[in-house]
Amino acid sequence: MGGPGNGGRTEAFDALRASEELHRATLSNISDAVFMADDAGNFTFVCPNVDVIFGFTPNEVFAVGRLGAFLGEDLFDPADLDARGEIQNVEREVTAKNGERRHILIHLKRVSIHGGTVLCTCRDITDLKQTERQLALARLELAHAARLALVGELTTSIVHEIQQPLTAISANTEAAMTHLSRWPRSATGEVGPILGDIQEAIASASEIIDRLRNLARKRPMEPQPIDLNELVAGVARLVSADALRRQVHVFLETTPGLPKIFADRISLQHVVLNLVMNAMEAMDQVKGDREMMLETRRANGAVELSVCDTGPGIAAEMLPRIFEAFVTTKREGIGLGLSIARSIVEAHKGRITANNTERGASFVIALPLG
C-alpha cells in the first residue's frame, strides 16, 4: 500500500512544481511589475521582471527594503485598504535606474500570502501620459487656431464695414473742396483747411485698415503629397488616450493602396482632428455603446474620409446650417470649427458633407486626386 501512496505524493509534488513554474513564467513575462509587502511595508516578494519598468533587479529592490521607500511614502492608508479590500488607479511618478522619469499606475490589494499582506501591481503609463500631453497641446493649438480665425473673420468684417463709410466721407469731402474752390478764399474762411484735415485723417484711417487687412490674411497653404491613411491613423493615435477616458471605441478602416492627395498637411490634420473631437464630444451623454468609425476609400475620382459616431445625431433644423459660421450645438461653443473645416476643404477643391445615419451622425470629406 506504500507504493500507491508514494505515487500520489509524487504526482501532487509534480503538479505543485508545474504550477509554480507556470506562475514563475507568467510573472517573468507580463509587462506589469508585482510586489508583496508585510504590514510594516517590508518587501516579501518582488517579481522577476521588475527591471522592465524600473530597470532594477529583484535583489536591488529587496535591498531598498520597503515598499514606501521604493514607490514613495503615503502610498495608501492601511485603514482604507482594510475597509475597501483594494485601492485602484493610484498614480505615481518614479525614477528608473537609468534616471528616466516613469509614470506608473498602482493597484493595491489586501492579501495574506506567506507573510505578505499587501499585493501591489504597477503598470507603466508613461507613453499614455505623453499621448495625453500631446492631445492637450493639440487642443490648445486647435482652440488658438479657432480664436485666430474668429479674430480674422471679425477683422475682415469690421474692415469691410468701416471702408464703406470712409469712402463716402472721402468722396463728399472732395466734392466739398471742389465746390469751395469756385468761391473766393475770403468767403470760405477756415472751411478749406478743415476739409484738408479731414482728407488727411481719412488717408491715415485707410492706412490703418490696410494694415488690419494684411494681418487678417491666412498663411499660405503648402500643398504636398499626403497619404490620407497615414494622416488619419496619426490622428487616431493622437486621440487614443482621450477616447479611452471617454470610453469611446475607435474603429479604423482604411483602403490599402489609396492614392496620395495633394494637400496642406497641417490644415488637413486640423480638419480631421476637429471632426474626430466633435464626434467624441457628441457621445459624452450616450449610455450605450460609444463607437467612432474612421473610414477611407476611393470614390468618383476622389479620396474620401468618413467620420461616423453613435451619438444623438444632428437636429433636423441644424443640419442645413451646420457649416455656417457661429452656428453651434455646444453650450460653450463659438460655432467656427465646422465653418473653418469647410473653408479648408473647399480651398483644396474638395467638399465636406454632413448627414444623419441610423446610429448617429456622419461627416464625409471628399478630396480630388492629383
- What letter represents residue 16's amino acid? L
CA distance 308 to 230: 19
Q: Does residue 217 register a pLDDT over 60? A: no
Place 144 in a pLDDT band, splitting at 50, 70 and 90.
low
Place 2 in a pLDDT band, splitting at 50, 70 and 90.
very low
Q: Does residue 151 register a pLDDT over 80? A: no
| pLDDT of amino acid 367 | 94
Question: Which three cell numbers mark 44?
Answer: 516579501
Question: Which three cell numbers mark 304?
Answer: 474620401
What's the DSSP call for residue 126?
H
CA distance 348 to 269: 13
- What letter represents residue 223's amino acid? P
Domain annotation for the chain: domains and CATH numbers: 31-124 (3.30.450.20), 129-216 (1.10.287), 224-368 (3.30.565.10)
Q: What is each CA distance from 107 to 55, 96, 124, 356, in whole angstroms?
A: 20, 19, 12, 42
CA distance 360 to 356: 6
Residue 132 vs residue 56, higher pLDDT: 56
| Mean pLDDT value across residues 264-270 | 85
Q: What is each CA distance from 355 to 232, 319, 348, in whole angstroms?
A: 20, 7, 21
| pLDDT of amino acid 115 | 85
Which are the contacts of 6, defined by CB distance < 8 A and separation ≥ 6? none
| pLDDT of amino acid 1 | 45
Q: Which of 18-27, 148-157, 204-213, 233-242 has the highest mean pLDDT?
A: 233-242
Q: How many helices (H) and strands (E) does the chain have?
A: 12, 12
- pTM for the model stands at 0.47
Q: Does residue 4 register a pLDDT over 60? A: no
Question: Which three cell numbers mark 166?
Answer: 470712409
CA distance 355 to 360: 9
Q: 357 and 308 in contact (C-beta within 8 Å)?
A: yes
Q: Does residue 159 register a pLDDT over 80? A: no
